[in-house]
Chains A and B, each alone.
Chain A
Amino acid sequence: MPWVDACAVDDVEEEDLIRWDHDGRTYVIVRSLDNEFYCTDGLCTHEQVHLSDGLVMDNEIECPKHNGLFDYRTGKALRAPVCEDLRTYATRVGNGRIMVLVG
């Protein structure tokens, strides 16, 4: 499974997320308050809404359409209407870039 260069560290603000599209799939890259980086699938498991328009708060992403909540560290669905967990992907940072292990 390849590590893929997703974006620059500075592309993502603290406690925020950006959309990242790769190889026909959409993901989000999340930056926590502790400056840790995470990557999850980019579409809500409830109704396929782009999570990149959502809110990052504490360790959670809130879907912009129905306020469903996910823990972005584990992908766990935390609040209805989401029931299905998000897939998560390993990340690493080097030379100011965020790399994601896709696959």
Chain B
Amino acid sequence: MSKSTTPIGSELTVRDYSLTGANTRQAIENGLSAAEWYHSDVPRKNLKSLMKRRDAPAIRDTVIWIALHFVFAAGGLYFWGRWLCVPFWFAYGVVYGSACDSRWHECGHGTAFRTRWMNDVVYHIASFQIMRNPVNWRWSHARHHTDTLIVGRDPEIAWMHPISLILKALAFVGIVETWTSLKVLTRNAMGNLSQEERDYIPESQWPKAIFWARVHIAIYAAVLVVSFVLLVSGAAWKSLIPILLIGGPRVYGCWHFVMTGLLQHGGLAENVLDHRLNSRTLYMNPISRWVYWNMNYHIEHHMFPMVPYYSLPALHELIKDDLPPPNTSIWDGYREMMGSVMRQRVDPNHAIRKSLPPTARPYREHLHLAVPERNTGLEIGDQGGT
């Protein structure tokens, strides 16, 4: 169902993903920053209904989420020393180290719960679990939505060129990211924000960023102290338990959020202004959808970020005739994405361009091509669409 052409968005010879470099200036000058994006038509009445917030679905899911932490941790501790503890720690790792990403994300948008303080509480818990400074990442994610995959503007591009497959593979075990996150939190806790952080976080929020970094680092330090005390008290392997419970799941349990997160934009186009070209919607099994809080409907989420996770399936049904066909499974998504990624390693301007159904409006090339000095000699004929 998909067809690839090269390239789609602006053609870059050198990519500078920093937020203060040459591509930043270029993106702003070319009108790619804070630009007008394509949206599927949704009648206001339907959209209002889809945007409606309720507490019940997120309370239900959060109660289950917290309960699963206790159940799996209890199992891990009960069977400690036997192989039977392994599946419990495995499951604990996923509910802590992977499900936290979607909770962080949805509550950061403020869409999970109707009640604002509930969003804030879960946001802070999930930010701690995933080792993200809750202030920095709130702002970086706002920028990600303003300038999705715009080189030099989006701080959350997962697949930066040149792509290192080794680093991507290591992401599934979280070691590099955990080390990087702890370094950032430590630096922030010492009162130091990087130039890029100062670029996307308003100055009024800097003290909050430093405060929360100190809170996170203090908790992690306490966990290490408890673990060390247990070790010197002769607890041997049991001294690892505090780390397995707090912090460790960011390493051994992150694989699911990395697996789903890489699919969001992988292999797709940079520097375009149509989310149908740079985001991926795919179907997946119900367990992954619960862990991921329906972010598999990723085009829909980017087009309408006010729609809560529990209404995304309904939004998908409403606009799917205007979207490229979804991938049918995680496997299907990876097959498509990795094919494109392998080509991008040779030609970073390559990107997937899926055929649109006949009912869809064409890709809005003019939004990202009608800017000065843009290469307009591209193959842009639509496959399908009217």
Q: Which residues of A approach B to under 8 Å, CB–CB? A: 16, 46-48, 54-55, 57, 62, 64-67, 69, 78-81, 83
Contact = CB atoms under 8 A, between A and B. Distances in A.
Interface string B6-20: 000000000000000
Given A57-B114, A66-B305, 15 more contacts: A46-B142, A48-B34, A55-B51, A57-B53, A62-B110, A64-B304, A66-B142, A66-B145, A66-B146, A67-B110, A78-B116, A79-B116, A80-B142, A80-B205, A81-B139
B48 interface: yes
Contacts of A79: 110, 116
B306 interface: yes
A64 B305 CA distance: 7
Nearest to A48: B34
B306 A47 contact: no
Contacts of B139: 80-81
> On chain B, which size bracket covers the interface?
20 to 34
**A-B pairs with the 4 shortest C-beta distances?**
A81-B142, A66-B142, A55-B51, A67-B110
Interface string B111-140: 100101000000000000000000000110
Interface of B: 34, 48, 51, 53, 109-111, 114, 116, 138-139, 142, 145-146, 202, 204-205, 304-306
Grouping DSSP codes into helix (H, G, I), strand (E, B) and loop, the A interface class, with mixed when no group exceeds half, is loop
Nearest to B47: A53
Contact of A55 (B34, B145, B306): B306
Contact of B138 (A54, A55, A57, A81): A81
Contact of B48 (A16, A69, A83): A16
Contacts, number: 43
Contact of B146 (A16, A57, A65): A65
Max count, chain A CB within 10 A of own CB: residue among B109, B139, B142, B204: B142
A71 B52 CA distance: 17
Nearest to A62: B306
Nearest to A54: B306
Contact of B305 (A47, A65, A78): A65
Contacts of B138: 80-81
Contacts of A69: 110, 116
Nearest to A16: B48
Given A55-B51, A62-B306, A67-B111, A47 B204 contact: no
Contacts of B116: 69, 78-79
Contacts of B146: 47, 65-66
